[in-house]
Amino acid sequence: MPRTPNTRLTLLMEAGGWGPAQFAAALRGAAAEQGLTLTVHLTTVRRWLEGSQPRPPLPGLILECLSRRLDRCVTAHEAGLTRAPGPLVDPAWEADPMRKLFHLTHAELDPHRRALIGAGVLTATALALPAQDRIPARSVDSARAGRRATASDVEQLRAMASVFAASADQHGGQRMRAALAAYLAHEVTPLLHAPAPDPVHHALLAATARLALLLGSMCADSGHHAPAQHYHQIAARLAADAGDPTTLAIALRTMATHAHDLGQHTPAVLNLAEQADQHARNAPPAVRAYTHIHLAVLSAHHDRHATVAALARAECLHTEADVEPGPFSRYPAGALHYQRAQVLATLKDHTGALSALTTSLRLRTETERLPAALTRARLAETHLRLGHLEPALTHWHALIDIYPTLHSARADQRLTTAVQYLRPHRRHTGVTDLLDRITEVTSPPR
């Protein structure tokens, strides 16, 4: 049967000043940000304009590109994607966070639904906070039923957060993601609906927000950026409901970090970092250093003077921080120097970035196996950018030594990037050996 031309998509592309070739290039760029490789060309776009329907994850990418270009949210209906599946989870800030958490965690335990949610993409329009930068508060459910929740339940949630965080630092987020989702679905969510004194209920909300943050980071480490964004947003909402500005600051900072790592340096992302810093103003020095250093990372794309001031303030705050146990009460020195390197690299001070990364690696503890591996990857890339081939090879070999113990899409991506960096030097014997090792550790078993 003849297809009906998609005039809605044509009009949106024209409004954005895009022809088919330019739109295809924008889609490939947006896909690359999120670790996806797409075969989309001029002829592909022309087929859509003629009426064929793209398959996931393309509908999400199409809407994301058009929304960025037109600086507003473009819906599937508006773009003529009539047979594209709608979002399985409402991305709006106003959506009930507990309902979203219920649906997402149960979807994590269903392979088919997990694949559908994982096929989504990070949405730049959802990074913008509501009007006046206020996180909407959920109305309190007074009809809670079941066994009474107690302070010991809160302590259990906090203890489990430490367990899951330690595992993710050691091995990456892919393996523990389903376990944390199951824990949230079957143990934590019922507690949020249990009768409890208000202080206990608020503490449960805050502890759940931190577990949701960890699950979001595990999803991001698995290369599934849409559910990661949902979990981070849920965490911010739950922290706001709990009246916990410190956890809210950590959640907003995590959202900004996730977007930055995917190449988003827009004013909306900078605003997330600024709001995180504002909410952390009465937090312990470790949390204030944590939010302030990322404010420096994002400011480096906008204002050099503000960047230098934010960096100095973060370093000063870190010297005031007490060394406390727990993933949400301490900020490791190795992480601070890693982000300092990000700031310096953005400011084109690659020698300074190399020094900061070297310090970061030296300060990594045995429990920070994944962060240390990612630091080595950045060290290798920075060395090669400065023309230091031999030290770069040393760090990449060290990364490969530890790689089999990691289950992380970020580690996978760093090895893919290593191959791209090394191709111009492939006639060098040491490079050939390294490329052979990369092929060996990344090839699927026969």
Show the tokens assigned to 307.
């960047």
Question: Which alpha helices (H) appear in 53-197, and where do they start and end?
Answer: 58-70, 97-108, 111-118, 151-171, 177-183, 189-192
Say how many C-beta atoms besides its own lie within 10 A of residue 187's C-beta: 14
Using 50, 70 and 90 to split pLDDT, how confident is the model at 446? low
pLDDT digits 0-9 by tens, 287-310: 999 999 999 999 999 999 999 999
Distance CA(378)–CA(337), nearest Å, equals: 12
Percentage of the chain surpassing pLDDT 90? Answer: 67
Asked whether the predicted pLDDT for residue 319 surpasses 50, the reply is: yes
Residue 133 in this model has a pLDDT that exceeds 70: no
Q: How confident is the model at residue 117 (pLDDT cuts 50, 70, 90)?
A: confident
- Spatial CA neighbour of 12 closest among 47, 63, 46: 63
Q: How far are the Cα atoms of 144, 154, 204, 245, 252 from residue 242, in angstroms, in the given order?
A: 16, 13, 8, 9, 15
Given a cut of 60, is residue 84 above it in pLDDT? no
CA distance 397 to 400: 5
The answer to whether the CB of 283 falls within 8 A of the CB of 328 is no
How far, in Å, CA of 170 to CA of 5, rounded? 52
Q: What pLDDT score was predicted for residue 136? A: 55
* Structure tokens that stand for 72 in this block: 């507003």
Range with lowest mean pLDDT among 57-71, 82-96, 156-170, 362-376 = 82-96
Mean pLDDT, the chain, rounded, equals 89
Per-residue pLDDT of 18-28, as tens digits, reads 999 999 999 99
Residue 256 — pLDDT band, cuts 50, 70, 90? very high
Minimal CA–CA distance to 185: which of 101, 253, 112? 101
- Report which secondary-structure segment, H or E, holds 442: helix 429-442
Angle between helices 333-346 and 369-385 (to 10 degrees): 30
What integer is the mean pLDDT of 329-345? 95
Nearest Cα to 274, choosing from 160, 129, 62? 129
Residue type, 115: A
C-alpha to C-alpha distance for 362 and 335, rounded to whole angstroms:
11
- Please report which confidence band the pLDDT of residue 137 belongs to, taking 50, 70 and 90 as the band edges: low
Does residue 338 have a pLDDT over 80? yes
Ranges 55-59, 143-147, 424-428: which has the least confidence? 143-147
Residue 140: predicted pLDDT: 45
Could you tell me which residues come within 8 angstroms of residue 140 by beta carbon, excluding any fewer than 6 positions away?
241
Report d(CA 256, CA 266) in Å as an integer: 10
Instruction: Write down the domain spans for the chain.
Output: 7-70, 89-122+148-243
Helices and strands per DSSP (H, E), number in the chain? 21, 0
pLDDT in tens, 7-17: 999 999 999 99
pLDDT of residue 55: 83
Mean pLDDT of 211-218: 97
The per-residue pLDDT for 317 is 94
- Give the residue carrying structure tokens 């959920």: 138
* Confidence band, pLDDT 50/70/90 cuts, at residue 45: very high
pLDDT score recorded for residue 4: 85
Contact 81, 62 (CB under 8 A): yes
Query: Residue 315 has which token pair?
Result: 């370093």
